Amino acid sequence: MDHVSLGRTGLKVSRLCLGTMNFGPCTSEPDSLRIMDRALDLGINFFDTADVYGRKRGEGVTEQILGRWFAQGGDRRQRVVLATKVFGDMDPPDRPDPNFARGLSARKIILACENSLRRMQTDWIDLYQMHHVDRACPWDEVWQAMERLVQEGKIRTSARRISPPGISPRPSTRPGSGTSWVWSRNRASTTSKHAPSNSRCFRPVGTSAWGSSPGAPWREASWRE
Amino acid sequence: MGVIAWSPLAGGVLAGVSSGQEGVRRQSDWSKELRESKAAELGRWEELCRSLGEEPANVALAWVLHQVGVTGPIVGPRTLEQLTGCQRALEIKLSADVLKSIDEIWPGPGDQAPEAYAW
């Protein structure tokens, strides 16, 4: 399995990233554990999850499965570059709480991160991603929370941001980031007349081209700051 | 820049009808609708993959891996077989002609990202 740098970071990740969205909702826990073991055996060291995965079955069900897998030891946690996400609804269905609902307030980010760490039985997240953008939350607030998490050692890589055009904040040149990533995701689903594909994208601030998957929109679409 | 492509198989739609697997996400409304609205393109896509002698899912992953600047796709296996099967994607070399054919089947949306195709 080839390993490449994740963008301009020094982090080396496998070219295939293991997505875990099925773990819990579709794939049993024993099978999920086996898949993760096999992935490591195959050299896949990049695992992606999200706090909301498995939500219909309970709080952070997928992250909990990852946590029980890490807890098996064998350096499983150390061998994995762990990516998770924050943004989605994490309030209990029977007790709606606006501060746990979709969003990226500093309070939400910090609590969500701590809860993800607890569920995954780990001290750190390698790549902390914003699952979407919170148009109601000032970017300063988002950055402040992410930077604090980096300083506390709870996330290893700097805050990233989601950046649809028209809502971009000023470029981040803050310390601790080294590389300032812009993160975005696209979903060309039933509402799209175009490529049946989804993607997530990181890009350094200041560049304009970036990508999506099949249909090659990265060659035809561009971002504006 | 690190780019990670999620749902590279569009919820299984690009994996081909011939694969005979009844994935959970394939049953979702949006994937059904996508399959219907893109029936012609999917026919051409699967024909192309057949001509290459490769599984459509692996060609879709290989396409992502061929894009300059892309770190890689996120594969979300439901079974161990799906995980081990996708290793083949790393070995597939797509020629310039094949890449062009894929672009013809699945043209980019053009216009301003991401509104042209998302949100």
Q: What is the DSSP string of chain A?
A: --EEESTTSS-EEESSEEE-TTBTTTB-HHHHHHHHHHHHHTT--EEE--TTTTGGGSTTHHHHHHHHHHTT-TTHHHH-EEEEEE-S--S-TTS--TTTSS---HHHHHHHHHHHHHHHT-S-BSEEEESS--TTS-HHHHHHHHHHHHHTTSBSS--EEE--TT---SPP--TTTSS-EEEEEEE--TT-SS-S-EEEEEEETT--B---SSS-GGGT-B---
Say if the Cβ atoms of B72 and A13 lie within 8 Å.
yes
pLDDT in tens, B54-69: 999 999 999 989 988 7
Cβ-based neighbours of B22, under 8 Å, separated by 6 or more: none
- Is pLDDT at B47 greater than 50 in this prediction? yes
Say if the Cβ atoms of B4 and A20 lie within 8 Å.
no
- Distance from the Cα of A220 to chain B's closest Cα (Å) equals 5
CB contacts under 8 A, A 120-179 vs B, are 164-165
Mean pLDDT of B81-108: 93
pLDDT in tens, A109-164: 999 999 999 999 999 999 888 887 788 999 889 888 988 998 899 998 743 444 33
Say if the Cβ atoms of B80 and A20 lie within 8 Å.
no
User: Which amino acid, A135?
Assistant: R
Tell me the count of A-B CB pairs closer than 8 A: 223
Cα distance between residue A133 and residue A141, in whole Å: 13
Q: Which residues pair with A4 in a beta bridge?
A: A13
Asked if residue A75 lies in contact with residue A56, where contact means CB atoms within 8 angstroms, the answer is no
Confidence band, pLDDT 50/70/90 cuts, at residue B115: low
Q: Please tell me which of the candidates A15, A185, A192 has its beta carbon nearest to residue B90.
A: A15
pLDDT computed for residue B21 by the predictor: 52
- Is pLDDT at A201 greater than 90 in this prediction? no
Q: Give the start-to-end residue ranges of the domains of chain A.
A: 3-223
pLDDT computed for residue B27 by the predictor: 62
Residue A31: other Cβ atoms inside 10 A: 16
Share of chain B above pLDDT 90, in %: 48
Least confident interval from A17-31, A101-115, B79-93, B105-119 = B105-119
Residue scoring higher pLDDT (A162 or B25): B25
Which one of A199, A210, A218 makes the best mutation probe of the B interface by having the most chain B beta carbons within 10 Å?
A199
pLDDT computed for residue B6 by the predictor: 79
Cα distance between residue A32 and residue A121, in whole Å: 17
Least confident interval from A27-31, A95-99, A107-111, A197-201 = A197-201
Q: Please tell me which of the candidates B1, B5, B10 has its beta carbon nearest to residue A207.
A: B1
Least confident interval from A43-47, A142-146, B92-96, B107-111 = B107-111
Termini Cα distance of chain B: 23
Is the minimum CB–CB distance between A118 and chain B shorter than 8 Å? no
Say if the Cβ atoms of B78 and A1 lie within 8 Å.
no
pLDDT computed for residue A186 by the predictor: 30
Residue B81: other Cβ atoms inside 10 A: 11
CB contacts under 8 A, A 47-76 vs B, are 48
pLDDT computed for residue A17 by the predictor: 94
Say if the Cβ atoms of A195 and B72 lie within 8 Å.
no
Of A197, A206, A199, nearest to A177 by C-alpha is A206
- Is pLDDT at A187 greater than 70 in this prediction? no
- Distance from the Cα of A62 to chain B's closest Cα (Å) equals 12
Is the minimum CB–CB distance between B16 and chain A shorter than 8 Å? no
Can you give the pTM of this predicted structure?
0.80
Catalytic residues of A: 53
What sign has the CA pseudo-torsion A121, A36, B68, B23? Answer: negative
CATH number for the domain running over A3-223 = 3.20.20.100
CB contacts under 8 A, B 34-63 vs A, are 34, 37-38, 60-61, 63
- Is pLDDT at A107 greater than 70 in this prediction? yes
